[in-house]
Amino acid sequence: MRKQKAESGPDTAQLPRWLDFHRSMHIIRQVESRLATLFADGEIPGFIHLSIGQEASAVGVCAALELADTIASTHRGHGHAVAKGMALDRFFLEILGKDEGACRGRSGSMHIADMGVGMLGANGIVGGGLPLAIGSALAHKLKGNGAVAVACFGDGAMAEGILHEALNIASLWKLPVLFVCDNNGWSEFSATKDVISLDLPQLARAFGIASRHLRGDDVVAVAEAAGQLVDAIRGDGAPRLIELHTRRIRGHFEGDAQRYRHDDAADREDPLVNHESRLLRAGVTPERLAEIAEAARGEVEAALQIARAGRAACAVGALDAVYAQRGAARYG
């Protein structure tokens, strides 16, 4: 499918896939919109980092992946978890801190993981997922299973030494890794251009890694580029990099008043609106689009209700879970 030309205008063969993108992006948008209100209402404690505005990246990249492929995400990882195939009830149960959650309420939003779908975790450390993807790619390579590991990072992580180490070793060892940068222009609360002296094309070139750099507001273009890169990785085993220029519509975290914010990335569109325009041009009716969005809302709401009915996570059992070897070390 993805080998076909995506930007060749209205193309009925592409339509089911395009509608699927529409649906997936709406699911993620709805999931995160609900997280925003749940956080504001005090139903979720801690930190929530939303990827609203960056949905095309998660959906487009994951469209190129198979179940056996792995992805190591960032603190802004809800989209990656859902796009990689994590069940919504499992997702919400975790984020609401329930015992039935994927991580039994111990990870919450910032570390959410679902090994069954190859989601190796969001990560509370900037750049923290990069070496995990490198190691996962090494495992894929040694097992010869043909799988690819995806190393997600934001532009803020360009300043972390671990990115440079990861690019070097991936190139040197020819590891099947796709580096994915969601470049939203912000390193948490600082404009990235004020804190980083190079750009990603330079960096990828320095390490001899073939790369693509494109707008991240067009899911079809992202899926096309990611598909080509993943195919290339599966072909020769060497790493590739894709940089997606996106817009972080919300703050660094929920509750961020964003007084530091100026009118950045105004040229980057909302990927949902962008894609809807494409679908309308392709002859899909507004009613059909609304219907899909509404179904997505219903699906998210149903999962949320299941999660709300879950059991609260339990501290007693948690003490026994520090080690895989049961009872390995208990103090106090």
Partner 1 sequence: MAEPRVRDALNRALADAMAADERVVLLGEDIAGFGGSFGVTKGLLDRFGPERVRDTPISEAIIAGAAVGAAMSGLRPVVEIMFMDFVTLAMDAIVNQAAKAHFMFGGQCSVPMVVRLPHGGGISAGPQHSQCLEAWFAHIPGLKVVCPATVGDSYSLMRAAIDDPDPVIFIENKALYALKGDMPDPPAAVAIGEAAVARGGRDVTIVTYGACLGHALDAAKALASAGIELEVIDLRSILPWDEAAVLRSLQRTHRLIVYHEAVEAFGPGAEIAARMADIGFDELDAPILRVGSPFAPAAFSKEIDSAFFPSSARLIEAVRRILA
Q: Residues interacting with partner 1, by CB under 8 A?
A: 70, 72, 94, 101-107, 111, 113-116, 120-121, 123-125, 128, 130-140, 142-143, 149, 161-162, 165-166, 168-169, 172-173, 318, 321-325, 328-329
Residue with Cβ nearer partner 1 (131 or 185): 131
Q: Is 136 left (phi over 0), alpha (psi -120 to 50) or beta?
A: alpha
CB of 106 to partner 1, least distance (A): 5
Residue 101's contacts (CB-CB under 8 Å, 6 or more residues apart) are 90, 93, 94, 95, 107, 307, 310, 313
CB of 22 to partner 1, least distance (A): 31
Residue 229's closest CA among 205, 211, 207, 204? 211
- Strands 186-187 and 190-191, by their bridges, are antiparallel
Tokens linked to 43: 């139903």
Residue with Cβ nearer partner 1 (25 or 119): 119
CB of 326 to partner 1, least distance (A): 10
Residue with Cβ nearer partner 1 (28 or 148): 148
Q: Is 191 helix (H, G, I), strand (E, B) or coil?
A: strand
Residue with Cβ nearer partner 1 (143 or 281): 143
Residue with Cβ nearer partner 1 (86 or 220): 86
Distance CA 241, CA 209 (A): 7
Tokens linked to 164: 């440079």
CB of 313 to partner 1, least distance (A): 9
Residue with Cβ nearer partner 1 (257 or 328): 328
Name residue, tokens 């992202």: 222
Residue with Cβ nearer partner 1 (11 or 165): 165
Residue with Cβ nearer partner 1 (102 or 300): 102
Residue 115's contacts (CB-CB under 8 Å, 6 or more residues apart) are none
CB of 168 to partner 1, least distance (A): 6
CB of 4 to partner 1, least distance (A): 32
Q: Is 248 left (phi over 0), alpha (psi -120 to 50) or beta?
A: beta
CB of 88 to partner 1, least distance (A): 17
Question: What's the Cα-to-Cα distance from 17 to each of 23, 131, 180, 208, rounded to whole Å?
Answer: 10, 32, 22, 33
Residue with Cβ nearer partner 1 (172 or 309): 172
CB of 72 to partner 1, least distance (A): 7
CB of 74 to partner 1, least distance (A): 13
Name residue, tokens 């009613």: 287
Q: Report angle CA 273, 217, 110 to the nearest 5 degrees.
A: 100
- DSSP notation for 34-65: HHHHHHHTTSS-S-----TT-HHHHHHHHTT-
